[in-house]
Chain A
């Protein structure tokens, strides 16, 4: 043991606990009702996700068409993908979450995309388009597997083509 240094430990009052009361209803009943309320948003989601997809495509067009400001467009593109990824599974579209996760991961690995990287990005946007427009819920069965496998292959192919040094 070397010399000791002081760390201060503070126990602030639990103000949140002081504000809550115990409900007459049990947790399961409340969660069930809450989920039912959330399900009323399902129909709205199918509409807004189409708008999100259109905005994502516009953003990709900006990435490709405005190289002077590419980093800002990429940042916006990532932000939009990230939001779609977070919402898909919540509304019964885990493939949107899965494709979104793959795209976010890919975007984090690249700095300025060249034609090959843009091609991989487009593959992802195409996959999202298939899921959204065909309203593929759940894992999507054979179509879902085909989509995700296609994306994995596209990413791996690009990684394999990269110079090793």
Chain B
């Protein structure tokens, strides 16, 4: 099976635990990723993202100062987000369904559960490359489409429709190519139906 080289991909790893940083760095390096920057918490990640154009963020959930989930919210909807569309992989030992849903609802692109294997890490990166999800903005959510498959027979609660309007942050604010790249994106409106 063919595989991807990550040589040219700039990855930000956000992890407070020194051992985990070493494990992730070793895994990524073994997949050819050489351009890594490391942050020890969400706050440092935001500072680094202001200065670096990053292609992928891999972050832990539990961290001091600014947790992984808070970082995701800031990146997706924050005034100071450098790129609201950036792929984010959340690495967590929280395996409960509610936690995975919380990560998804914050706008995480992929959730990776610890214990982590190199194969898992690679397959989630490959999923982002091969099957990028469209983004959805409705009245309460902005982030990757939480439905991987569209079910034309779906008749359940329509969670995309809600009460308070969110701010429009789909235009990245960072200097460099991000804003132009986002504008080049294909934006379309579709009707979402409430029950």
Contact = CB atoms under 8 A, between A and B. Distances in A.
Interface of A: 1-17, 19-23, 25-28, 30-31, 33-35, 37-38, 41, 45, 48, 52, 79, 82-83, 85-90, 97, 104
> Top 9 A-B pairs ranked by shortest CB distance?
A86-B114, A34-B30, A7-B192, A89-B115, A86-B93, A27-B3, A12-B85, A12-B185, A7-B138
Interface in B171-195: 181-182, 184-195
B93 A15 contact: no
Contact of B137 (A10, A22, A38, A104): A10
Contacts of B56: 16
A9 B188 contact: yes
Interface in B52-74: 55-56, 62
22 contacts: A5-B191, A8-B136, A10-B135, A10-B185, A10-B186, A11-B186, A15-B55, A16-B56, A17-B130, A20-B5, A22-B4, A23-B3, A26-B2, A27-B122, A30-B31, A34-B30, A45-B19, A82-B93, A85-B93, A86-B93, A86-B115, A87-B19
Contacts of A52: 19
Given A28-B1, A48-B19, A37 B30 contact: yes
Which bucket holds chain B's interface residue count?
35 or more
A80 to B, nearest CB: 9
Contacts, number: 174
Contact of A90 (B31, B115, B191): B115
A153 to B, nearest CB: 23
B186 A26 contact: no
Interface of B: 1-9, 17, 19-20, 22-23, 26-27, 29-32, 55-56, 62, 85, 87, 93, 114-119, 122, 125, 128-130, 132, 134-139, 145, 160-161, 170, 181-182, 184-195
